[in-house]
Structure 1
């Protein structure tokens, strides 16, 4: 299978509330709008908020969102009235993470990749000299 693109699709219980959260509160840039839905940029991915769901997403699903400065991001979101479920901390795997949630309770894991972490390391062999 050859993949050309991908996106996560959310079916919120209250579409207007979720649209306002992702667009206005988080400030995500709009990739595309269509009748009944909006697609947002998520760094190298896309998030579609469309339709209407009947239930909360549950705790088996989370969105992993990498940010440049976790402390600043958390303080900015707190200032916008977003409750912080878990304060920023360094995880055993070396990433700095904090948790918030969207209006339906979907957990958003905010991640800062610190200097020296393997995710920032180019593991390819250096070019021959």
Structure 2
């Protein structure tokens, strides 16, 4: 047996707000939603290059289908790296949309320009490009 693909799934406190961040601000497209009608409990989103994320609403009982608690979390177990052609322009747009900038754009010793913003649940999202 060979594993063929993987993608991270985020549990969101406010799914609609997270969908807006990942789709409207970062350019993902919703490719699947459950349930199909009404407010979704889960959506899959993709970027044009095939990168995928799953976004799910915290369950009403606070437990996932695996039975483990979804909240509270401690620290940030998740960070997302998203490539963009122009880090400064991308971060300025995200800030204009009201998303907190955690670290302003800067050049790294390993040859990338990076910045960090927070998604609606406070997860760090690194915006990066070659320096």
User: Which is higher, the Rg of structure 1 or of structure 2?
Assistant: 1
With normalisation by structure 2, the TM-score equals 0.75
In structure 1, runs of 5+ residues without a counterpart are 115-129
Q: Indicate yes or no: 2:58 matched with 1:48.
A: no
Residues 13 and 56 in structure 1, CA contact (< 8 A), matched pair in contact too: no
Alignment of 1:14-53 (within 5 A): 14-35=14-35, 36-42=41-47, 43-52=49-58, 53=70
Distance 1:57 1:32, change over 3 A: farther
In structure 2, runs of 5+ residues without a counterpart are 36-40, 59-69
Q: What residue number does 2:90 align with?
A: 73
Once the two structures are superposed, what CA deviation does each residue of 1:16-68 show, in whole Å capped at 9, x if it has no partner?
Answer: 32223223343422222222211111443211101314234623431111111
Residues 6 and 45 in structure 1, CA contact (< 8 A), matched pair in contact too: no
With normalisation by structure 1, the TM-score equals 0.76
Moved over 6 A (4+): none
